[in-house]
């Protein structure tokens, strides 16, 4: 989303974080990086991190990949910030509610995830551009 926003002249703070710290500090999955690099995305310097309490205050919008992530964040989010939490694809008006987890599948799963994320990002950026 960050690259797409920049290409449209929007300045957004875009970050990614997990709900558990299992992979904290690790680089992205090699299959994910490979799929992204084929589309021109750079994964250099990216490492995983866990959501922290200040994220709820700092970010205007927190988009979740699936209902499990959403429930985890809702359980830890201060009530004043619950309105910021949404499913990523639903927020973008997609027909699919959840981003599928490609981790245990083959490489094609990462391509599907990129397709969904790119389409959702385009829709959100278009909406942001039309409201500014």
Is 101 among the catalytic positions?
yes
| Nearest residue to 18 via CA among 46, 60, 44 | 46
Which of 15, 29, 60, 101 is flagged as catalytic? 101
The dihedral region occupied by 13, where left means phi > 0, alpha psi between -120 and 50, and beta the remainder, is beta
The contacts found for 7-13 with CB under 8 angstroms, 24 or more apart, are 8/125, 8/129, 10/125, 10/128, 10/129, 10/132, 12/128, 13/59
> What does the angle CA 70 – CA 71 – CA 73 come to, to the nearest 5 degrees?
65
Radius of gyration of the chain (CA): 15
**Catalytic residue numbers?**
101
């Amino acid at each position: 989303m960050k690259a797409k926003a920049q290409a449209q002249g929007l300045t957004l703070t875009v970050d990614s974080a997990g709900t558990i710290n299992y992979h904290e500090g690790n680089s992205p999955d090699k299959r994910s990086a490979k799929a992204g690099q084929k589309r021109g995305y750079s994964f250099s310097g990216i490492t995983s991190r866990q959501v922290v309490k200040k994220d709820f205050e700092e970010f205007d919008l927190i988009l979740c990949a699936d209902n499990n992530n959403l429930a985890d964040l809702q359980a830890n989010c201060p009530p004043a910030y619950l309105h910021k939490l949404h499913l990523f694809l639903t927020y973008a008006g997609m027909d699919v509610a959840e981003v599928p987890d490609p981790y245990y599948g083959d490489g094609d799963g990462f391509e599907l995830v990129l397709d969904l994320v790119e389409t959702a990002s385009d829709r959100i950026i278009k909406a942001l551009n039309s409201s500014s």
